[in-house]
Amino acid sequence: MATGCEGCRDGAGFDLPFSMAFQPIVDIANQTIFAHEALVRGAAGEGAYSVLSQVADDNRYAFDQQCRVKAIEMATALDLPRDGARLSINFMPNAVYEPRACIRLTLATAMRTGFPLDRIIFEFTEDEKLDTNHLLNILRTYRAMGFKTAIDDFGAGYAGLGLLSKFQPDIVKLDMELIRDIDRDQAKQKIVKSMLALMSDLGIQTICEGVETQDELRALEDLGATLIQGYALARPAFERLVGADALSARTGALGFQPGVMAGSAA
């Protein structure tokens, strides 16, 4: 274990070059960009699989560390900290041996770049079986340090309501399978409406991800959803941030006024 923690301090051990794309998460109620999620891409913009397929047990630590550093450095270079939005970074719980040791490089990068810790969201996907106690230790440690925490793909994996009863993250992202064709599926509408109410009662913000059509977007707005991510608003942008003007144009169907939405410049 000591070797693993020592090895992940500088992120050495994953040699495949890669980069990042950024997809906005939009607050459609306030017409603002809530956050930008950093998504791994190949060095020339290839899809995530070209990189993730090269991640194995022996380089998982290093890859996780490099992703955090690259996301923070690139977001800083794109002036994300100045636009008021947050940066959402995916992390692998099974690539964290000891939270306080493995967070050192992230903290050092944030200090070096001047990126505020409370504007960084760490989100994990519940699609792999995890040691709940280990995961809770990570989440509680990150929160104590000032980071925001999020569960991605909620409703599709292992963690679910059992984890939620033990720890309430800042954010829950509903799985896109609950969102697909929600405008035509009354069962999904009732489930999502109940989820939104539950999360609100627990003091958790809910993001509806994978929203691909204007009809889905309108249905979610009617249900009271405010934080939206998906192709209906913007696709991930390779090595850049999607501008607020572009988002205003895409959301015009909902009555947004061009130029009103606050957020990052293109």
Q: Cα–Cα distances in Å, from 66 out to 45, 51, 191?
A: 17, 12, 37
Q: What are the E-state strand segments in the chain?
A: 18-27, 32-42, 86-90, 120-125, 148-154, 171-174, 205-209, 227-229, 237-238
What is the residue type of 85? Answer: A
Active-site residue, selected from the candidate residues 37, 123, 126, 209: 209
Q: Is 239 annotated as catalytic?
A: no
- DSSP-derived secondary structure letter, 94: G
* Distance (Å, whole) CA 209 – CA 175: 7
CB atoms within 10 A of CB 176: 18
In 29-52, which positions are buried (b, 16+ CB within 10 angstroms) versus exposed (e)? eebbbbbbbbbbbbeeeeeeebbe
Grouping H, G, I as helix, E, B as strand and the rest as coil, residue 205 is: strand
Q: What are the E-state strand segments in 46-170?
A: 86-90, 120-125, 148-154
- Please report, in angstroms and rounded to a whole number, the separation of the first and last CA atoms in the chain: 43
Give the active site residues.
209
